[in-house]
Structure 1
Amino acid sequence: MILIISNNNDRTTIQVMRWLSRINKKFICIREDNTFQVKVQNKRIYLESHNSQFFLDEITSIWYRRGGLRFKRHKYENPSVNMHMNEAQHWLEDYVMQTLESKKHINKQSNCHVNKLLVLEQAQNVGLDVPEFYLAENTDNVILGKTITKSITGNVIIESLDEDLGGIMYTKVIEVAEKEDFFITFFQEKIDKDFEIRSFYLNGKIFSMAIFSQNDDQTKIDFRKYNIEKPNRNVRYNLPKEIEEKIRRLMENLDLNCGSLDFMKSGNNYYFLEVNPIGQFGNVSLDCNYYLEKEIADYL
């Protein structure tokens, strides 16, 4: 049986489950409202929540999409006993997670987040071109108009009841110097691109899409500022074989067997930007007729 860990109403998850149903594969999907207890029956470990249960040994493959496997712990009145039992339950949960992740899988809950700075260093180590980057607490050494800034973390969405305080943190060109110091910030050389490339990686296979975002002022710096009225043109694209081989080495070094990678092409150069293990690939699948949801279902 296939185990899927995801969020409620994730469209990609739903598409993959439709393919699994179509090829008559048995699966169970765990969502964020599931909290499991670890139990044993006839020497077999099983997990049970309010609306589902499964034995550990009946899981043949696992896809970690989003969210996470959550556990409910027993609590004890005696503080010392409770501390000891918390540790015991921790190691039991750890055994469950490691057992599941040792099976055939796509992504792991244990490494679903990556450190962008370490990823860029690893990309350089495998020979990929990376725009020069550095950290700074002020703009004293920033070349205005030729430097961009972006979050050190993943995609940042700030929610607030005040519309002026909420929003998404996009990549931005530094045009004006700051007068005061600020929290350590990520800066990177601005590359004048021909177009961008989104590549979906799955167990050594690479599916790429060219995104012609540079012709629209709204999407020129960050294509995530989607122009709904006049969308960017997206087409299938084949990266050079040597770039694809470096991608495979990078993903192996990061212990990732799935993810979305972003590149920029400028002249004859391909500049690596980042990798998102749980990245969006629906548009790559749809616009390029890759049927990536079927690829995932077939692998599972």
Structure 2
Amino acid sequence: MILIISENHERTTNEVIRWLISLEKKFIRVHEDEVFVIKTKDRRIYVESERNCFFIDEITSVWYRRGGLRFLRKKYDDDAVDIYMNEHQHWLENYVRNYLENKKHINKESNYHINKLIVLDTAKEIGFDIPEYFLAENTENVKLNKTIIKPIAGNGILKFEDSHGFMYTSIVDKKEKEDFFTTFFQQKIEKDFEIRSFYLNRKVWSMAIFSQNDDQTKVDYRRYNKVKPNRNVPYNLPKDIEEKIIVLMDKLDLTSGSLDFIKSDDKFYFLEVNAVGQFGNVSFYCNYGLDYEIATSL
């Protein structure tokens, strides 16, 4: 039985599930709003929600896409008993998660949210070319129009009551008079084009994104121009770059993820890796069939 942990309306998950149905493989999909209770029967552990119920020893492989396993915590009137039982429940939940993560898996809930600063330090140690970066609380030593700013955290989406906001990469073009929260600055690289690579189980599929000729997408291709989209084509990274990707992903203990690069002259600048990043566009534009690759890997 295949266990898929994802968000309710995640499109990539739906595409992989279509392949699993076609391949006649049994699966369970866990949504982010499900809450499970841990139970036992005949000395076997099973988890149950209003939507799903399964014995954990029936699971043969796990795909952690997004979201996570949530468990119901029982409350007790006596404070001392409640503290004790809360710890008791914590370790039981921890065991279930650990048991499932030790199955054949594509990524894990426990380590998908990786630290961008640690990733960049690790990539530099491996030998990737990295645009110079630093943290600062003001723009005193920032070179205007030659430096970009981007979030330290991977998720650049702000959710308000009636709207959403997106944190895009931006060029620093003026000095700020006051200090601010510690911020990530990076050297602006003049690019030939960008590259989005998808990694799965030591294999790499890449796509070149020609975003540099459009003022709307030249700094951050995620500012999609839907009227005149960027040209996207299949691309083969040099062998030594792909080998470094494998080393990096092994060090980060990731079996899958999306990586971003900039091609500038004869250099490939590594930018970041996102364990749960989108790869549907890479699969679609390049006809890679990555949904099928994931389904058969599971």
- TM-score category of the 2 structures, normalised to the smaller one: over 0.9
Superposition TM-score, scaled by structure 1 size: 0.98
Aligned partners of 2:268, 2:45: CA distance in 1, in Å?
A: 48
Q: 2:182 is matched with which residue?
A: 184
Q: 1:251 is matched with which residue?
A: 249
The DSSP-based 3-state class of the residue aligned with 2:36 is strand
Aligned partners of 1:162, 1:93: CA distance in 2, in Å?
A: 35
After superposition, what is the alpha-carbon deviation per residue over 1:58-79, rounded to whole angstroms, capped at 9, x for unaligned?
Answer: 0000000111000002221111
Aligned partners of 2:161, 2:25: CA distance in 1, in Å?
A: 44
Deviation at residue 100 of structure 1 after TM alignment: 0.2
Amino acid of the residue matched to residue 266 of structure 2?
A: N
Q: 2:292 is matched with which residue?
A: 294
Find 2:280's aligned residue among 272, 279, 282.
Answer: 282
Q: Does residue 126 of the first structure (1) align with residue 126 of the second (2)?
A: yes
Q: Does residue 29 of the first structure (1) align with residue 23 of the second (2)?
A: no
Deviation at residue 173 of structure 1 after TM alignment: 0.5
Q: 1:147 is matched with which residue?
A: 147
The DSSP-based 3-state class of the residue aligned with 2:77 is coil
Q: 1:210 is matched with which residue?
A: 208
Amino acid of the residue matched to residue 268 of structure 1?
A: D
Aligned partners of 2:207, 2:32: CA distance in 1, in Å?
A: 31
Q: 1:48 is matched with which residue?
A: 48
Q: 2:270 is matched with which residue?
A: 272
Aligned partners of 1:91, 1:4: CA distance in 2, in Å?
A: 22
Q: 1:91 to 1:120 in 2, by over 3 A?
A: same
Structure 2: gaps of 5 or more residues: none
Q: Percent identity?
A: 63
Pairs within 5 Å for 1:101-140: 101-140=101-140
Structure 1: gaps of 5 or more residues: none
Deviation at residue 32 of structure 1 after TM alignment: 1.6
Aligned partners of 2:10, 2:59: CA distance in 1, in Å?
A: 22
Amino acid of the residue matched to residue 185 of structure 2?
A: F
Amino acid of the residue matched to residue 217 of structure 2?
A: T
Deviation at residue 157 of structure 1 after TM alignment: 1.4
Amino acid of the residue matched to residue 270 of structure 1?
A: F
Deviation at residue 159 of structure 1 after TM alignment: 2.6
Q: 1:2 is matched with which residue?
A: 2
Pairs within 5 Å for 1:69-84: 69-84=69-84
Aligned partners of 2:9, 2:145: CA distance in 1, in Å?
A: 41
Aligned partners of 2:131, 2:116: CA distance in 1, in Å?
A: 13
Q: Does residue 60 of the first structure (1) align with residue 60 of the second (2)?
A: yes
Q: Does residue 226 of the first structure (1) align with residue 224 of the second (2)?
A: yes
Find 2:173's aligned residue among 150, 172, 175.
Answer: 175
Aligned partners of 1:81, 1:157: CA distance in 2, in Å?
A: 40
The DSSP-based 3-state class of the residue aligned with 1:7 is coil
Deviation at residue 33 of structure 1 after TM alignment: 2.3
After superposition, what is the alpha-carbon deviation per residue over 1:30-50, rounded to whole angstroms, capped at 9, x for unaligned?
Answer: 002211011000000000011
The DSSP-based 3-state class of the residue aligned with 1:105 is strand
After superposition, what is the alpha-carbon deviation per residue over 1:213-251, rounded to whole angstroms, capped at 9, x for unaligned?
Answer: 001000000000000000000000000000000000000
Superposition TM-score, scaled by structure 2 size: 0.98
Deviation at residue 120 of structure 1 after TM alignment: 0.2
Aligned partners of 1:115, 1:225: CA distance in 2, in Å?
A: 24
Aligned partners of 1:232, 1:196: CA distance in 2, in Å?
A: 11
Amino acid of the residue matched to residue 133 of structure 1?
A: Y
The DSSP-based 3-state class of the residue aligned with 1:259 is strand
Q: 1:22 to 1:122 in 2, by over 3 A?
A: same
Amino acid of the residue matched to residue 252 of structure 1?
A: D
Deviation at residue 27 of structure 1 after TM alignment: 0.2
Deviation at residue 292 of structure 1 after TM alignment: 0.3
Deviation at residue 155 of structure 1 after TM alignment: 3.0
Aligned partners of 2:33, 2:121: CA distance in 1, in Å?
A: 37
Deviation at residue 6 of structure 1 after TM alignment: 0.5
Aligned partners of 2:155, 2:222: CA distance in 1, in Å?
A: 10
